[in-house]
Amino acid sequence: MDKTVASAAAAVADIPDGATLMIGGFGLCGNPENLLAALHRLGRRDLTIISNNAGTDAEGIGVMLAAGQIKKMISSYVGENSIFEARARSGELDTELLPQGTLAERIRAGGAGIPAFFTPAGVGTVVAEGKETREFDGRTYLMERWLKADFALIKGFRGDRWGNLTYRKTARNFNPVMAAAARVTIAEVEELLPPGGLDPEAIITPAVYVHRIVLGGGYRKPIERRTVRKG
């Protein structure tokens, strides 16, 4: 089945207000830049975003934060976004911050159909508040629930028209696990090939997990910069 969509705008057109989305990327590496821009232009609001990071004030998810489109974020590393900080502190943005490994495993569990698991990460901290704990072999573990989403917006390097994907280096971060954990997975790629154009041994995300694929373009691939507080 050819899953190619003509444009990023067409790929995200049916995402409604109030949807829960997973967005791939680590920092600004491996972000679905075209899909994010299209979603921002679409103007959907009250979104719940599951993403390792919140972008920066002017890049990635940060653009939607600045526009007030996001009501909740479930994330790990958010330190480069002052808008996130201000809105989280004011209570305007509902936030759930998680250890990075816990976030990744909750997403993986969602894709694997595992409703809960136990981890030592977060025990004895605010992360554990309201959650079940249990002792195994003399050590306390915290129960964490799976994460699933209505849509996943992910970024691949090469893909074929069936939806098989490969990733390039660090961009192989949260994208593969998110592909399996959403009801509808939308992938953008830098190179779109015909069926059979990918070496089967190199495929990381099989087409069964991808519902739409779009050829991206105009990639700027920004990077985060270290910020230094004066004083």
* pLDDT, tens digit, 9 for 90 and up, residues 157-168: 999 999 999 999
Minimum mean pLDDT range among 17-26, 56-65, 190-199: 56-65
Please determine, for residue 52, whether its predicted confidence score (pLDDT) is greater than 70: yes
The model carries a pTM of: 0.93
Residue 27 domain-assigned?
yes
Please determine, for residue 228, whether its predicted confidence score (pLDDT) is greater than 80: no
Instruction: Please write the tens of the pLDDT for every residue from 97-126.
Output: 999 999 999 999 999 999 999 999 999 999
Q: Which of 155, 163, 178 is nearest to 50 (CA)?
A: 178
Residue 124 domain-assigned?
no
Range of the domain at 88: 8-117+146-215
Residue 131 domain-assigned?
no
Q: Output the pLDDT for position 231.
A: 55
Q: Output the pLDDT for position 170.
A: 87
Domain count, the chain: 1
Q: Output the pLDDT for position 35.
A: 97
Q: Output the pLDDT for position 174.
A: 96
DSSP state letters, the chain: ---B-S-HHHHHTTPPTT-EEEE--BTTBT--HHHHHHHHHHT--SEEEE-SB--BTTBTHHHHHHTT-EEEEEESB-TT-HHHHHHHHHTSSEEEE--HHHHHHHHHHHHHT--EEEESTTTTSGGGTT--EEEETTEEEEEEE---EEEEEEEEEEEETT--EE--GGG-SSHHHHHHSEEEEEEEEEEEE-TT-S-GGG-SB-GGG-SEEEE----------------
Residue 223 domain-assigned?
no
The pLDDT confidence band at residue 78, using thresholds 50, 70 and 90, is confident
Average pLDDT over residues 64-74: 96
Q: Output the pLDDT for position 79.
A: 79
Residue 52 domain-assigned?
yes
Residue 1 domain-assigned?
no
Tokens of 84: 């996130």
Residue 184 domain-assigned?
yes
Tokens of 153: 């917006």
Q: Which amino acid is at 106?
A: R
Q: Output the pLDDT for position 220.
A: 81
Residue 58 domain-assigned?
yes
Please report, for the domain that includes residue 63, its CATH number: 3.40.1080.10
Instruction: Please write the tens of the pLDDT for every residue from 166-213.
Output: 999 988 999 999 999 999 999 999 999 999 999 999 999 999 999 999
Q: Output the pLDDT for position 141.
A: 98
The pLDDT confidence band at residue 229, using thresholds 50, 70 and 90, is low
End-to-end CA distance of the chain: 59
Q: How far apart are CA 72 and CA 55, in angstroms?
A: 15
**For the chain, what percent of residues have pLDDT higher than 90?**
85
Please determine, for residue 225, whether its predicted confidence score (pLDDT) is greater than 70: no
C-alpha distances in Å from residue 103, one per residue of 23, 56, 110, 168, 200:
13, 20, 11, 22, 29
